[in-house]
Structure 1
Amino acid sequence: MVKLVRTSVLLASVSLVAACASSGRPDAAVSEQASAAPAAAAKPQIGSFGFDVAGMDRAVAPGDDFYNFANGGWAARTPIPADKSNYGMFSVLADLSTERTRTLLDEAKAQDGSKIGTAYATYLDQSAIDAKGLAPIQPWLGKIKALNDKSGYAALLAEADRMGVGGPIRSGVGQDDKAPETYIVRVAQGGLGMPDRDYYLSTDAKLTETRSAYLGHLTKMLTLAGEANAAARAKAILDFETGIARAHWTRVESRNRDKVYNKMTVADLSRMAPGFDFAGYLRGVGTPVNELIVTQPTALAGEAKLIAATPVAVLRDQLIVRSLEEYADVLPAAIDQAVFAFRGTVLSGTPEQEERWKRAVEFTSDSLEDEVSKVYVARYFPPETKAAADTLVKNVIAAMDRRIDQLDWMAPATKAKAHAKLAAFTPKIGYPDRWRDYSNLTITPGDAFGNKVRAAEWAHQWDIGHLGKPLQRWEWGMTPMTVNAYANFGMVEIVFPAAILQPPFFDPNADPAVNYGGIGAVIGHELSHHFDDQGAKYNAEGRLTDWWTPADVAAFKQRTDALVAQYDAYEPLPGMKLKGALTLGENVADLAGLTTAHDAYMASMGGKPAPVIDGFTADQRFYLGWAQVWRRNYREADLRNRLLTDPHSPSAQRAWIVRNLDPWYPAFQPQPGSKLFLTPEQRVRIW
């Protein structure tokens, strides 16, 4: 069952894994080994005070391009590795996490009976995978090919879903937004093989080229599967998916939490969207419920109608291709390489696929998340880092609390409710306090394909197992090895995995100004998500409800509209502007998060003047700390993909949020007429 994302994240979209277990707190070894970690060096890891001064480009005026002023030297000297679509500070830490996890898994594979070691070693053995050819997947492909009429399509699609193979209908289990103490099934649009409807419908020359490449990819996949007449069948799949794209809601429409909350019975859904057996599908995935949430009703109606009008042979062929793509990494190298050629190179511009060991680390970490996480935090996350992060979180929350009182556009009654929501927050730092139990997940030596199938089915059962249970607040949606952070509206929580609590985001030996501009602003960002244009719709209980006065809503919208217009004007690629409405939530979180982190930093000084370090004032160091974490170079195809699909603005534009912040102006003295300069009246202020 596909997990439907219900969170906002710092960097990029992730699936919210329904992570539950019956075990208790982490092993004692976690705290014992972490305590044994060597003390951090007194010197910051980066530069003399936590910022890489050599990476600046002082030939650029900060008022014209603050991102390149802070990062231009680094950008000019830093190539993108051949196996990456982009490269920056997140990538550096992600590589470090991967290397560390590899060390742990190499040790584990030498241990008899280690489940993570077996999964890792089996995945690494490409020659054994190649020797089996398509034999492991043939029973499943045979079942697809045996579908002769549409009466069995819903059940087949459900079985594919349980294996992690996506089709036109997606479903998952999560909190009921208006009854947040309960779990509910959510059904959503799906079915596209390219990242977004625009890839099918736009007349842009680059996207037209991508469509042609996708048609070639579909043809290649059917050919590798041994299917005849592959080109014509590929064209039929493309036509089917183009029809789906026309029915799909846009990403802007789909991020509106009010519009995507449509509770109805299965009977109501079937009447609204005839042409697909929703009841049979839900029975097949193991959720024979009476009531559910439909996120994009008109899209599902359009997809059901299209399924009813499409020949069963086309539906079969789409599932064949999706299955080969999903399991390409545990099938012969020719299939794996063909999938990468399109999804890695065409869509993201990446010249080379990652080495097998890196993907083995990813597979093992995804399949046995908590088993890998336990050993990772035991070795690499000292308790003093967690304690220091706890303090920063408390300081930023306190700063946000003070800012609410200072708002001139919010009614006192609404401010009281905002304070109550802030008081209800649960910050999670480092790693979960409970682990899931994988004893019923079978990992077999030499069976890479079977291991992946069983891991997908285990995750599916874990997901649907939430139904009827009390809300499990200890769950995490990211592993400790993940370099990211997120806000969960329904849980009223902010979550910071261990791997992001490292330089350049956080260094206990760095200047506090840099830390507050880095991890402090990240904390403020996730905190502010709960008060962005969608998160603000949830109250202190995590319930989607109206808790603002109409005047508050109007005043808030006036401000967010101004931010949309500001970002709409940015053009990261020639002819491709940012979508301010798509990136609004992240831009609000950047704006409010950085503002709040600055307040927290000033409060932490206790009224004492901050020293000048290496010629940089405290405010300069704070904003440079913010700009440094967004260092990133993009391949053009990857940036184009992001502009169409990503709710986050590109790194340069994230750094430019400083143009709205009053203290940035005396710190860097941009002049009227410079590209980023805004008069006080033009600056967007929200929280």
Structure 2
Amino acid sequence: MKKNPTYLGLATALALAGCTSTKPATTATTATVTPVAAAAPAPKGVGLDMADIDRAVSPCDDFFQFSGGNWLRNNPVPSYASSWGPRNQLGDRTQALLRRILEDAAANRSAAPGSNAQKVGDFYAAAMDTVAIDRAGLTPIKPELDRLAAVRDAAGLRAEIAHLQDIGASVFFQAGVDVDEKNTTQYAVQMGQGGLTMPNRDFYFKEDARTAKVKTAYRTYMAQLFGLLGEAPAVAQRNAATVERIETRLAKASRTPVELRDPQANYNKLTLAAAQQRYPALDPKGLLAGMQLGKAQEVIIGQPAFFDEVNAVLKTEPLADLKTYLRWHVMRVVANALPTPYAEAAFHYNQALTGAKQQAARWKRMQSATDQTLGEAFGQLYVDQAFSPEAKAKALEMVANIKASMAEHIKTNTWMSAPTKTEALKKLNALRVKIGYPDVWKDYSALKISRESYLKNILAARAWESRREAAHFGQPIDRNEWGMTPPTINAYYNPALNEIVFPAGYLQPPFFDPKADDAINYGAIGGVMGHEMTHGFDDQGRQYDSEGNLRDWWTPADAAEFTKRAAVVGKQYSAFSPLDSVHVNGQLTMGENLADFAGLTVVYGALEKQLQQRYGNGPRPNYDGFTPEQRYFLSWAQLRRTNIRPEALRQQIATDPHSPGQYRTIGPIMNMPQFQQAFGCPEGSKMTRSAVDRAVIW
């Protein structure tokens, strides 16, 4: 079970609140802001669009609107999207290049057999051939359906469950191989809750109108797919109800998104013999043997009580109903690779979740599928055209400066004891940084890709990835692996490997621009770097030591003080309400909010050091009428401006550990005296918290 990267980039953040600056915040009247808003004549800078700023709004009243109000008005969400922001715009530009790469690869019929160019070209060509996909009908998936139909007993069902894990249908649960979080020198077999169609357990039990709409779409989607398989409407409805009944049982036993954020509670290692005794109907021994993991003698169970219910479901539900549940998930995970009616049914369900008005163009969807399936083969073709050694060197320099600032913040921390500081600095010094693309690329030589069938390619790639992952078991940790592909416009922190990773796709304007002044780059990609770096010290990341082991290295007093200070952040965010009666979940978003807090504070310190080195005590240039400090905060804010559909916003708040963009913008700065000083905000202004209410961690 290769986990998704634990903390994801711009959509991610670790932040510790406030700042450790001892400089008093400048007090001023609102009038002192006016010269900034008026933007006196000054050299034009690179990286900020002055036309986006809403000068009718005071930065001290609403910095989200001030920094990008005009942009928000002029950039509505496109019909094919659920939200829209700078990352989407960069995504469009990146996709244009990726499209050219893919179309060139697809047109190249003379690529060497087995080469990355051949596999990428054939995969994309097959994915774009909708005539062939529609003509093939269910033929490519028929072997899977026939295999499932042939199941006659519990043993056959368990074998099918193992097989479906290999082709990406995580029925009942997720299982696989990943780093052992309490012994990061080895891999472990891991099993965690899963098996649901809707985004998480809460959708099965909430009764508000929004959730009811999603649940209706879910039921309609299931009935449609069963109907497309040839079942009469009454039978299709009955089968949909069967799936919902089983999934509701699983949902009831599932942990909440907040509970899943506790790494200690979600680490439960059992001997295989003990797991076999506790879950006999599941038969972990036979399951792992079927997944080519028969040598395992231990298994980490993420949520033991959930697997108690899985065991009970397998023991008490009729075999025919269990097969119906499996058949649904077989179809669900390949619907977008099937003929048009299946893909349209999947989209209509997604509409209820996101509010998107129409599907994205097929080439965009198939570009994404190629990236997901052959990410590093595709990524090599991308990096050759889009990422320079100079960009990598500049990014590494920035990371080094931010790391130095983080070390200083740890050393000067006023509430952390010396033993905890020593461990924190040890962890920071051990942090590994990956920039651009892997040093060692995945070897796809054993994966066969052709133009015969898009769906066959999907199934082959999933099975290949499962075998590749299973082969890790018993081997040394592969520290060259990446959890994101090179074109990805995102970043992450991996606590078990204590590493931060920045794909090449992220390291381009507007997030990173070698032509821009330091303030812009530090506020943009620097903010992300600080975010990811400080994830190692958020409420989750701080539980892992310098070697990535899940180990408590904090003194009890320091841990209690951290928890008390973090609770202030949680309270602040839980008070934010972007929609009527809908509040941000301060516990679910705690790690990302802490990362934004700490990252913005730490990177500000790195920028000040950079400016001191560059200009000494001399004057610092103002661009577009803004000081470097003001440009830093504007850069941070302009990259988090987002328009989002109400449906998508509600889903984000229910499922996403990241706060909405407007609160990622203003949440940290409201606690920063540096912001108050930069914009001359008076005490009591909306963007300024009092010293009593301010969250301060680093």
Is the deviation greater in 258-267 or in 397-406? 258-267
What's 2:464 paired with? 458
Distance 1:587 1:221 in 2: 40
What's 1:71 paired with? 68
**Preserved contact between residue 630 and residue 654 of structure 1 (Cα < 8 Å):** yes
Judged with a 3 Å threshold, the aligned counterparts in structure 2 of structure 1 residues 565 and 602 are, in CA distance, closer, same or farther, namely same
What's 2:19 paired with? none
Q: Can you list the C-alpha shifts for 1:60-102, whole angstroms capped at 9, x where unaligned?
A: 2323322111111111110212211111111112222222111
Where 2:185 maps in the other structure, the secondary structure is: strand
C-alpha displacement of 1:355: 1.5
> Residues 511-550 of structure 1: matches in 2 within 5 Å?
511-550=517-556
- Kindly indicate whether residue 129 of structure 2 is the aligned counterpart of residue 122 of structure 1: no
Distance 1:631 1:278 in 2: 47
> Residues 17-416 of structure 1: matches in 2 within 5 Å?
48-111=45-108, 112-113=110-111, 114-228=118-232, 229-288=235-294, 289-343=296-350, 345-416=351-422
TM-score by length of 2: 0.91
Is the deviation greater in 123-132 or in 352-361? 352-361
- Kindly indicate whether residue 672 of structure 2 is the aligned counterpart of residue 661 of structure 1: yes
C-alpha displacement of 1:13: 8.5
| Counterpart amino acid of residue 660 in structure 1 | N
Distance 1:211 1:115 in 2: 39
C-alpha displacement of 1:168: 0.7
> Residues 555-594 of structure 1: matches in 2 within 5 Å?
555-594=561-600
| Counterpart amino acid of residue 49 in structure 1 | V
What's 2:26 paired with? none
Distance 2:510 2:376 in 1: 26
TM-score by length of 1: 0.93
- Kindly indicate whether residue 648 of structure 2 is the aligned counterpart of residue 635 of structure 1: no
Where 2:537 maps in the other structure, the secondary structure is: coil
Is the deviation greater in 659-668 or in 364-373? 364-373
Judged with a 3 Å threshold, the aligned counterparts in structure 2 of structure 1 residues 312 and 64 are, in CA distance, closer, same or farther, namely farther
Distance 1:676 1:578 in 2: 18
Where 1:347 maps in the other structure, the secondary structure is: helix
What's 2:695 paired with? 684
C-alpha displacement of 1:533: 0.7
- Kindly indicate whether residue 560 of structure 2 is the aligned counterpart of residue 554 of structure 1: yes
Distance 2:678 2:314 in 1: 59
Distance 1:66 1:269 in 2: 53
Is the deviation greater in 88-97 or in 5-14? 5-14
> Residues 489-528 of structure 1: matches in 2 within 5 Å?
489-528=495-534
What's 2:620 paired with? 610
Where 1:292 maps in the other structure, the secondary structure is: strand
Is the deviation greater in 46-55 or in 93-102? 46-55
C-alpha displacement of 1:206: 1.0
Q: Can you list the C-alpha shifts for 1:514-539, whole angstroms capped at 9, x where unaligned?
A: 11111111110000000111111111
C-alpha displacement of 1:127: 0.3
Distance 1:521 1:628 in 2: 12
Is the deviation greater in 447-456 or in 62-71? 62-71
Distance 2:575 2:535 in 1: 23
Where 1:575 maps in the other structure, the secondary structure is: coil
C-alpha displacement of 1:47: 7.2
Q: Can you list the C-alpha shifts for 1:547-584, whole angstroms capped at 9, x where unaligned?
A: 11101101101111111111111112211111111111
| Counterpart amino acid of residue 85 in structure 1 | S
Where 2:358 maps in the other structure, the secondary structure is: coil
| Counterpart amino acid of residue 294 in structure 1 | I
Where 1:155 maps in the other structure, the secondary structure is: helix
C-alpha displacement of 1:56: 1.7
**Preserved contact between residue 426 and residue 492 of structure 1 (Cα < 8 Å):** yes
Distance 1:64 1:143 in 2: 63
Q: Can you list the C-alpha shifts for 1:382-404, whole angstroms capped at 9, x where unaligned?
A: 11111111110000000001111
Judged with a 3 Å threshold, the aligned counterparts in structure 2 of structure 1 residues 6 and 376 are, in CA distance, closer, same or farther, namely closer
The percent identity for this pair of structures is 40
C-alpha displacement of 1:320: 1.7
Q: Can you list the C-alpha shifts for 1:127-156, whole angstroms capped at 9, x where unaligned?
A: 001011111111211222222333322210
Q: Can you list the C-alpha shifts for 1:427-475, whole angstroms capped at 9, x where unaligned?
A: 1111111111111111122221211110111111111111111111111
**Preserved contact between residue 154 and residue 278 of structure 1 (Cα < 8 Å):** no
Q: Can you list the C-alpha shifts for 1:304-360, whole angstroms capped at 9, x where unaligned?
A: 2123222222221222222222112221111111111102x1111111112121122
Q: Can you list the C-alpha shifts for 1:94-134, whole angstroms capped at 9, x where unaligned?
A: 22222211111111122223221111111110000101111
- Kindly indicate whether residue 654 of structure 2 is the aligned counterpart of residue 644 of structure 1: yes
Is the deviation greater in 435-444 or in 586-595? 435-444
Where 1:358 maps in the other structure, the secondary structure is: helix
Is the deviation greater in 54-63 or in 253-262? 54-63
What's 2:7 paired with? 8
Distance 1:614 1:356 in 2: 41
| Counterpart amino acid of residue 667 in structure 1 | A
Distance 1:308 1:209 in 2: 32
Distance 2:10 2:528 in 1: 10
Where 1:548 maps in the other structure, the secondary structure is: coil
RMSD after superposition = 1.7
Where 2:433 maps in the other structure, the secondary structure is: strand
Distance 2:105 2:220 in 1: 41
Distance 2:316 2:209 in 1: 30
C-alpha displacement of 1:281: 1.6
Distance 2:577 2:285 in 1: 46
Where 1:541 maps in the other structure, the secondary structure is: coil
Per chain length, whose mean CA-contact separation is higher, i.e. which structure has more relative contact order (CA < 8 Å, sep 6+)? 2
| Counterpart amino acid of residue 67 in structure 1 | F
Identify which of 670, 673, 676 aligns with 2:681.
670
C-alpha displacement of 1:177: 0.7
Where 1:468 maps in the other structure, the secondary structure is: coil
Distance 1:512 1:96 in 2: 24
**Preserved contact between residue 82 and residue 356 of structure 2 (Cα < 8 Å):** yes
**Preserved contact between residue 4 and residue 171 of structure 1 (Cα < 8 Å):** no
Where 1:82 maps in the other structure, the secondary structure is: coil
**Preserved contact between residue 592 and residue 658 of structure 2 (Cα < 8 Å):** yes
C-alpha displacement of 1:6: 5.1
What's 1:31 paired with? none
Identify which of 633, 645, 667 aligns with 1:623.
633
Where 1:571 maps in the other structure, the secondary structure is: coil
Tell me the number of residue pairs that the alignment of Structure 1 and Structure 2 aligns: 654
**Preserved contact between residue 504 and residue 628 of structure 1 (Cα < 8 Å):** no
Judged with a 3 Å threshold, the aligned counterparts in structure 2 of structure 1 residues 62 and 270 are, in CA distance, closer, same or farther, namely farther
Where 1:427 maps in the other structure, the secondary structure is: strand
**Preserved contact between residue 102 and residue 361 of structure 1 (Cα < 8 Å):** yes
What's 1:26 paired with? none
| Counterpart amino acid of residue 153 in structure 1 | L
